[in-house]
Structure 1
Amino acid sequence: MKRIGILTGGGDCPGLNAAIRAAAKKGFQLGFEMIGIKNGWKGMLMAEAEILTYDKVSGLLHKGGTILGSSRTNPAKIENGLEKVVNNFKELKLDALIVIGGEDTLGVAVKISKEVSVVGIPKTIDNDVGETDFCIGFHTAVQTASDIIDKIHPTAESHHRVIVLEVMGRHVGWIATYAGMAGGADFILIPEIPIDINDICETIEKRVKKGRDFSIIVIAEGVKIEEKYIVKKGETDAFGHVILGGVGEILAEIIKEKTKIETRAINLGHIVRGGSPTAFDRILATRFGVKAIELVSEKKFGRMAAINGSKIIDVPIEKALEQKRIDKDLYETAKVFF
């Protein structure tokens, strides 16, 4: 009987449990023993694992988070870390390892792929993993953010305010663009496009003159103000990323100073990571989980499940690291309504 490990790494998001469920149940059908690795790469460093049973993975489809736990542990930054991962793969008597994560988690999988039989599944609410149209968690994050835009719209209009809504998006503006379009935002500001604060303020003032005396601005956390990231205490995570946050508040202060219009900022932060996955994410995660097991069965290692249009495909796992920027045509469509 083949023993197949599965781990979830990096930030949690809705849909992880659905992918675990799908991979495990497909694995059971093929006679595989499914092993859950606890807390991402930290679990592989510590050889912490549990046998996944049918009961353990039942009833997970609608649940957010991950039953396996997660971490931002980076074995490449730990002395002999990658070697420990490879040794523990053997110690746990695994025949393959399914890695569910974003570019950082999958990046570790790439580093060990010559010594460990790995298969990847892309998940990140930022939706920036290369070679796949969508990642697990993105659609739910967009739904959460757009729902909140709907809820703040009446307040902005009733009190004649500018409201700046900050969402996640370190390097890319997928959440901001999708949620902003779905929620009818008056501006969408993303890392890929340099912002012109004077232009924003002038447009807000023009809206007021036309009788539209409120505005909603959606901004991704990675947008630079005066060519600088807005960071929290200068801290970095295990993969060397600075902890971003606060750009919405800075922008709100500038707008208020320049236009004299009451301006408020809201930072959604980790709220967009929570909740039950949408129908789209449940289906996507299910298809990815099944595809990953099929790749294992076919011994197509060093590959990642992906979606292209409506088709589930597989691509070289290193392609995950080719960061996917916002579709410029999509953003141009959004700008029609600015």
Structure 2
Amino acid sequence: MNIAILTGGGDCPGLNAVIRAFTKYALRRGHKVFGYKDGFKGLIENDFMELTDKEVSGIIIRGGTILGTSNIANPFSYRIPPYGSPQKPVDMTSTLIENLKKNKIECLVTIGGDGTQNMAYKLYEMGLPVIGIPKTIDNDLDATDYTFGYDTALYVATEAVDRVHTTAESHERVLIVETMGRYAGWIAIRSAIAGGGDIVLIPEIEYNSKDIIDYIKERRKKGKTFSIIV
């Protein structure tokens, strides 16, 4: 079986490790693996490389992705010339499917977050066999406990929250640490708990400025002259 694999969306820790693991697993079972470059753009441009043991050797310790990635190459609304323009996106799915047929690809593996997997699901609905590997630091995908990339992002965010404590206390300031996460508060709430944040604002729970100000004032009455908002 010929299998296509790509990485879409933002980069995160673990991408090369997944590419390596999947490639080795498939090769041991007699399949061929082709890595398409820069996400779905590679499928549209027919830009790919065959992945062998040699190609994936040693990449487990490297950050990023050897295949490149893109968070703007939507095949259903393609905005990159020469096929379209920022003003007039073009549906390039027919070209994508034709390229896969030309290369006798029988399965597509997509490593990505919600945007990548939503596009992959649409291709699945068109009849293309798809395997989705959940990748996002936001940890906002269903049917998995933790998406890879999340743990490292949480560690970095926790360290950031922890490090601003002395500055906030020394200057008696209210400091705000803004985390990644889009519409999910996983990184914010867990880094705040682990790093000692005083106030946590997440998309899942509504909040208003008055409550935040009142809480900060209450802390000051108790002798807490600084606050950290995550």
TM-score of the two chains, using structure 1 as the length reference:
0.62
1:152 and 1:56 map into 2 onto residues whose CA distance is 42
Which of 130, 154, 167 is the aligned partner of 2:166?
154
Contact 1:47 1:92 (C-alpha < 8 Å) held by counterparts: no
Per-residue deviation, 1:134: 1.3
Contact 1:125 1:136 (C-alpha < 8 Å) held by counterparts: yes
Indicate the residue corresponding to 1:22 in structure 2. 21
More moved, 150-159 vs 17-26: 150-159
Per-residue deviation, 1:55: 2.2
Contact 1:86 1:115 (C-alpha < 8 Å) held by counterparts: no
Indicate the residue corresponding to 1:315 in structure 2. none
| Count of paired positions | 217
Indicate the residue corresponding to 1:62 in structure 2. 61
Residue 82 (1) aligns with residue 93 (2)? yes
1:207 and 1:144 map into 2 onto residues whose CA distance is 27
1:59 and 1:182 map into 2 onto residues whose CA distance is 33
Per-residue deviation, 1:161: 1.1
- Say which SS state the counterpart of residue 38 (structure 2) adopts: coil
Per-residue deviation, 1:206: 1.4
1:22 and 1:80 map into 2 onto residues whose CA distance is 33
Indicate the residue corresponding to 1:107 in structure 2. 118
In the alignment, structure 2 segments of 5+ residues that lack a partner are 79-89
1:46 and 1:210 map into 2 onto residues whose CA distance is 62
2:113 and 2:7 map into 1 onto residues whose CA distance is 10
In the alignment, structure 1 segments of 5+ residues that lack a partner are 219-338
1:122 and 1:134 map into 2 onto residues whose CA distance is 9
* Paired AA for residue 88 in structure 1: N
Per-residue deviation, 1:158: 1.5
Indicate the residue corresponding to 1:92 in structure 2. 103
Per-residue deviation, 1:164: 0.3
1:5 and 1:99 map into 2 onto residues whose CA distance is 8
Per-residue deviation, 1:60: 2.2
Q: Deviations over 1:285-337 (max 9, x none)?
A: xxxxxxxxxxxxxxxxxxxxxxxxxxxxxxxxxxxxxxxxxxxxxxxxxxxxx
2:162 and 2:59 map into 1 onto residues whose CA distance is 29
Per-residue deviation, 1:93: 1.8
Indicate the residue corresponding to 1:197 in structure 2. 209
1:216 and 1:8 map into 2 onto residues whose CA distance is 36
Per-residue deviation, 1:56: 1.8
Residue 213 (1) aligns with residue 225 (2)? yes
* Paired AA for residue 166 in structure 1: E
- Say which SS state the counterpart of residue 224 (structure 2) adopts: coil
* Paired AA for residue 222 in structure 2: K
- Say which SS state the counterpart of residue 121 (structure 1) adopts: strand
2:199 and 2:4 map into 1 onto residues whose CA distance is 44
- Say which SS state the counterpart of residue 60 (structure 2) adopts: coil
Q: Deviations over 1:175-215 (max 9, x none)?
A: 11111111110011011111121111111111112111111
More moved, 136-145 vs 55-64: 55-64
Indicate the residue corresponding to 1:71 in structure 2. 70
Per-residue deviation, 1:61: 2.2
Indicate the residue corresponding to 2:191 in structure 1. 179
* Paired AA for residue 146 in structure 1: T
Q: Deviations over 1:226-279 (max 9, x none)?
A: xxxxxxxxxxxxxxxxxxxxxxxxxxxxxxxxxxxxxxxxxxxxxxxxxxxxxx
Indicate the residue corresponding to 1:285 in structure 2. none
* Paired AA for residue 34 in structure 2: I
- Say which SS state the counterpart of residue 165 (structure 2) adopts: helix
* Paired AA for residue 185 in structure 1: G
2:129 and 2:101 map into 1 onto residues whose CA distance is 11
Indicate the residue corresponding to 1:11 in structure 2. 10
More moved, 44-53 vs 78-87: 78-87
Q: Percent identity?
A: 47
1:64 and 1:179 map into 2 onto residues whose CA distance is 22
Contact 1:4 1:32 (C-alpha < 8 Å) held by counterparts: yes
Indicate the residue corresponding to 2:156 in structure 1. 144
